[in-house]
Amino acid sequence: MKPQLEMKKNQELTTDSEQFPRRDQREQQQQQCQRRVADDAADSSSFSSPLTCSSSSSSFASYSLSLSCWTMMILLLIFNAPLPASSSTAIGNWMNLGVQGYEVWRNPQLYMVGAQPLCTQIPGLSPGQAKLCQLYQDHMSSVGRGARAGIAECQWQFRYRRWNCSTVEDSTVFGPVLQIGSREAAFAHSIAAAGVVHSISRACREGQLSSCGCSRALRPKNLNQEWIWGGCGDNIEYGYKFTQGFVDVREREKNYKRGSREQGRSLMNLHNNEAGRRAVIKKARVTCKCHGVSGSCSLVTCWQQLASFREIGDFMKDKYDGATEVRVNKRGRLQVKNAQYNLPTANDLVYLDESPDYCLRNKTIGSFGTYGRPCNRTSAGMDGCNLMCCGRGYNTLKTTVKERCKCKFHWCCHVECKTCIKTVDVHTCK
């Protein structure tokens, strides 16, 4: 019998070469966060009664909704901005509100004032998240933005796959499909977490969020002194910490039976959230500038430059392809299912269940099926008609397509494109 490889998170994180987000700090942060939530609970009567995610989502096991509820809610409430076209029935919605989209972006405060009830009313937020939402109201538009970017990136990355990250209009965002602890769920969680880190870091750097951290201490007493003495740390770290507090809190606020499926799922989500958050840090580029005597390199200062979110998405997609299957053991730890595989690091994705094939429409698992999806006749990959249509065959339709092509950006600020008309064979799955 082979020795069981346990995925001890502590162990993994310390062996990680980067060492950037140190475990102890993060735990401390987590505790602080939870303590704050608990403190607030003490003087808020509404907290003592267990709040459910929302009436619509309470029918699902809440662990599977960790991401979906809150992202969707924030999406609907804060942006009212267009979701990409795959959000099937929400089309009417966004066409109406899309016009106001920019207004909402520009003045998120308008939509957040008197937010006392707002955060608790948002379906999808766990009690802890609702508390954090209330505490950090100004962060919420960035959180929403980040989640939106994550979903959009997910849809871009999966545009040629059977499951194309399509969203539904209720607060579960992706429908019941994320109930399955599949690779896809792992990706969705991680990319959304990455989106929030990215967007919070950006907002901090723009000076939109006044409460962005300065040093390692959460709220140093004499911050001004500290700033004069040694300056402030980087904002990516703050984005990381905030996201960790906000996204992970829902996984940590329930006690599951050790070794149960629910607990396993919770651990899986935590792991994948972490992987997503780290991806932002990992893809950040270090740039340096010499500014010593006479501009010489005797003094070099370096800083971190955020990568474009597409780069982070590509990175996560690679992690999706190399995700490791795990299971929860009796001691309440995740362990690699097939002991031959390497222990996943904190940067890797893990999943519990095999993915469904997503071939047919199945409401209970949340699969939309691939009926009517376009496919590529010549490709041997996932976008090829054979795989995409699950062997059902495809229809071919000759159509002329008008496309924007050969675009040129003119400073400033319009894009000039030519219209290319071409006749193509469109293959759609039967």
Partner 1 sequence: MAGAVVENLSNRKLIVLISFLLICLLVCFLLGGLVAPAPSNVQSVLATKCYDNSQNKSKFFYVRPNGGCDKIDDLHGPEAEERHITDKNVVFAFQLPIPRGGIELDYSRWMQNLIGILQIDVTFFKEWELMEPRVPVTIDARLGYRNKGDPEDEWKEYATSTESRTMDCSPPERDGYLYNCSLLPLFELGALHHDYYLLNLRFPVIYENNRGLGPVSDLWLVVINQNGGFTKVWLSLKTIFFPMVVGVMIWFWRRVQLLARQPTLLESMLLALGVALSTLNLPLEYLTLSFEMPFMLLLGDMKQGIFYSMLLSFWLVFAGEHLMDDNERKGLRGYWKQLSCVGVGCLSMFIFDMCERGIQLRNPFYSIWANEIGTQIALSFVIIAGIAAGVYFLFLSYIIYRVFRNISAKRQALPAMASARRHFYEGVIYRFKFLMLATLLCAAMTVVGFILGQVSEGKWKWDEDINLEYTSAFFTGVYGMWNVYILALLCLYSPSHKRWPSESAGQDETNEEIEFTPLPTEPSELSSLTAMIKKTATD
For residue 413, state whether it binds partner 1 (rule: CB under 8 A).
yes
For residue 224, state whether it binds partner 1 (rule: CB under 8 A).
yes
Nearer to partner 1, 123 or 213 (CB): 213
Nearer to partner 1, 57 or 134 (CB): 134
Nearer to partner 1, 306 or 352 (CB): 306
Q: Which of 8, 258, 310, 361 binds partner 1 (CB under 8 A)?
A: 310
Characterize the bridge pairing of strands 350-351 and 324-328. parallel
For residue 16, state whether it binds partner 1 (rule: CB under 8 A).
no
Residue 29 φ/ψ, nearest 5 degrees = -60, -45
Subset of residues 157 to 176 that bind partner 1, contact rule: CB under 8 A:
none
For residue 15, state whether it binds partner 1 (rule: CB under 8 A).
no
DSSP string, 27-55: HHHHHHHHHHHHHHHHT-HHHHSPPPS-T
Q: Which of 19, 121, 395, 396 binds partner 1 (CB under 8 A)?
A: 19
Residue 99-138 contact track with partner 1, rule CB under 8 A, x = bound: ---x--xx--x-----------------------------
Residues paired with residue 327 on neighbouring β-strands, in sequence order: 335
For residue 46, state whether it binds partner 1 (rule: CB under 8 A).
no
Nearer to partner 1, 155 or 266 (CB): 155
Q: Looking at 195-337, which runs of residues are DSSP E strands?
A: 285-290, 300-305, 324-328, 334-336
Residues paired with residue 350 on neighbouring β-strands, in sequence order: 324
For residue 229, state whether it binds partner 1 (rule: CB under 8 A).
yes
Nearer to partner 1, 299 or 401 (CB): 299
Q: How far is the CB of 232 from partner 1 (least distance, A)?
A: 5
Q: How far is the CB of 367 from partner 1 (least distance, A)?
A: 28
Q: Does an H or E element contain 420, and which? A: strand 414-429
Characterize the bridge pairing of strands 361-362 and 367-368. antiparallel
**Which range, of 29-37, 173-181, 306-314, 317-325, touches partner 1 by CB under 8 A?**
306-314
In eight-state DSSP terms, residue 79 is: I
Subset of residues 280 to 299 that bind partner 1, contact rule: CB under 8 A:
286-289, 291, 293-295, 297-299
Question: Cα 363 to the chain's mean position, in Å?
Answer: 24
Nearer to partner 1, 330 or 410 (CB): 410
Number of residues this chain uses to bind partner 1 (CB under 8 A)? 61
DSSP string, 257-285: PTT-HHHHHHHHHHHHHHHHHHHHHHHPE
Checking 212-215 for CB contacts under 8 A at 24+ apart, the result is: 212/238, 213/237, 213/238, 213/241
Nearer to partner 1, 116 or 301 (CB): 301
For residue 422, state whether it binds partner 1 (rule: CB under 8 A).
no
Dihedral (CA of 219, 252, 65, 21) sign: positive
Alpha carbons 339 and 5: distance in angstroms, whole number: 7
Neighbour tally for 181: CB within 10 Å: 27
For residue 220, state whether it binds partner 1 (rule: CB under 8 A).
yes
**Which range, of 51-59, 64-72, 369-377, 405-413, touches partner 1 by CB under 8 A?**
405-413
For residue 213, state whether it binds partner 1 (rule: CB under 8 A).
yes
For residue 202, state whether it binds partner 1 (rule: CB under 8 A).
yes
Nearer to partner 1, 170 or 274 (CB): 274
For residue 1, state whether it binds partner 1 (rule: CB under 8 A).
no
For residue 380, state whether it binds partner 1 (rule: CB under 8 A).
no
Q: Which of 15, 31, 305, 342 binds partner 1 (CB under 8 A)?
A: 305
**Which range, of 269-277, 304-312, 350-358, 376-384, touches partner 1 by CB under 8 A?**
304-312
For residue 304, state whether it binds partner 1 (rule: CB under 8 A).
yes
Cα-based angle 275, 278, 281 (whole degrees, multiple of 5): 160
Produce one character per residue of 230-239: b if its CB has 16 or more CB atoms within 10 Å, e if not. eeeebbbbbb
Q: Which of 35, 88, 227, 342 binds partner 1 (CB under 8 A)?
A: 227
Alpha carbons 391 and 404: distance in angstroms, whole number: 33
Alpha carbons 7 and 23: distance in angstroms, whole number: 15
Checking 96-101 for CB contacts under 8 A at 24+ apart, the result is: none
Q: Does an H or E element contain 424, and which? A: strand 414-429
Neighbour tally for 399: CB within 10 Å: 9
Q: Which of 301, 338, 342, 395 binds partner 1 (CB under 8 A)?
A: 301
Tokens at residue 45, please? 């009567």
Binding residues (CB under 8 A) for partner 1: these are 19, 22, 102, 105-106, 109, 202, 204-207, 210-214, 219-220, 223-224, 227-232, 234-235, 286-289, 291, 293-295, 297-305, 307-308, 310-311, 314, 405-415
